[in-house]
Amino acid sequence: MKTESLPTTNDETSSLRIIQLNPRTDPRWEAFLSRFSTSVIYQHPAWLAVMEEAYGYTPMHLACEDSAGNLRGILPLFSRHGLRSGKQCISPPLVAGPLSDDRRVDTILIQDAIERSREIHATRFQFTNRSTHFNYLVNDVVGVPQHETYELALPEQPDLSQMDARVRRAVKKAAKSGLQVRPAETMRELRVWYLLYLETMRRLVVMPQPYKVFEQAWQRLHARGLLRLMLAEHIEAGQRRLVAGFLYFQWGTPSPICIQDGGARIRI
């Protein structure tokens, strides 16, 4: 495990150090995540394990530790090697930048990540975030818009009567025609849904994610209540036919795993 003290301007910051740790074996990582309403599932040890197993990424996860051994900040990080892009240091998809409540901690985490990227001769260091909070914390590092995201605030208790008349009619028509929605419960149902996912990606001319990503996510997250797959099925003459599905995370604000999310890309 690599540790190092960083140059600082005051006693409090000088007691901090950046360490590389394993979130899968160090309970401090998940405990730290649980303290922040701004944490996301893509920073969770289980999702980091999915990325490592499914894609073969090399973990380089960083944490800021004080003199008492308490974590003050984290930055999930992987190195990967592409045939065209070469070696890169990236945060895990979709959105997983530094997490702390102290801009000084954010700064030294980014500084250390940049140095480690240079040490392994990476061509790019990149992390994705939903805000411009990290702009210019370190030299000329700034966010670059990557995806456009739309958000809709929903009531805690959805009421069909408050929806648009066209939506109400569509819901009633679907129910009357035999359409039902239920949560998936088995790996077999996940595989059936994946075939529908492949058909959808082909129709949209989008490269699909490999099945291993969803398999690993199901094995590591579903049993913990962190992932759900909702299936919409048409039932006729006692036979079920899958017509749609939605796979999403449950950690803080529910996040889709199959729909590309938005954020900003930060490069050096």
C-alpha torsion sign, points 31, 33, 34, 35 = positive
Beta bridge partners of 247: 229
75 and 28, same domain (yes or no): yes
9 and 122, same domain (yes or no): yes
Q: How far is CA 243 from CA 179, 231, 240, 246, in A?
A: 9, 8, 9, 11
78 and 186, same domain (yes or no): no
C-alpha to C-alpha distance for 244 and 100, rounded to whole angstroms:
38
pLDDT in tens, 157-167: 767 667 788 88
167 and 135, same domain (yes or no): no
Q: Dig out the tokens for 89 from the structure.
A: 């240091």
37 and 144, same domain (yes or no): yes
234 and 136, same domain (yes or no): no
Domain assignment of residue 93, yes or no: yes
Q: How far is CA 220 from CA 156, 200, 257, in A?
A: 28, 25, 14
In CATH, what number is assigned to the domain containing residue 237?
3.40.630.30
Amino acid 76: pLDDT: 97
- Count other C-beta atoms under 10 Å from residue 180's C-beta: 12
10 and 133, same domain (yes or no): yes
Amino acid 10: pLDDT: 55
Confidence label for 250 from pLDDT (cuts 50, 70 and 90) = confident
- Between 101 and 171, the more confident residue is 101
Q: Which residue has the tokens 């990503």?
A: 213
Domain assignment of residue 154, yes or no: no
139 and 52, same domain (yes or no): yes
What's the structural domain count of the chain? Answer: 2
C-alpha to C-alpha distance for 193 and 198, rounded to whole angstroms:
9
pLDDT in tens, 33-54: 999 988 999 999 999 999 999 9
130 and 180, same domain (yes or no): no
For the chain, the straight-line distance linking the first and the last C-alpha, in angstroms and rounded, comes to: 25
C-alpha to C-alpha distance for 159 and 180, rounded to whole angstroms:
18
The domain containing residue 125 runs over which residues?
3-149+260-266
Amino acid 261: pLDDT: 29
pLDDT in tens, 202-224: 999 999 999 999 999 999 999 89
95 and 205, same domain (yes or no): no
H/E stretch holding 135 reads: none
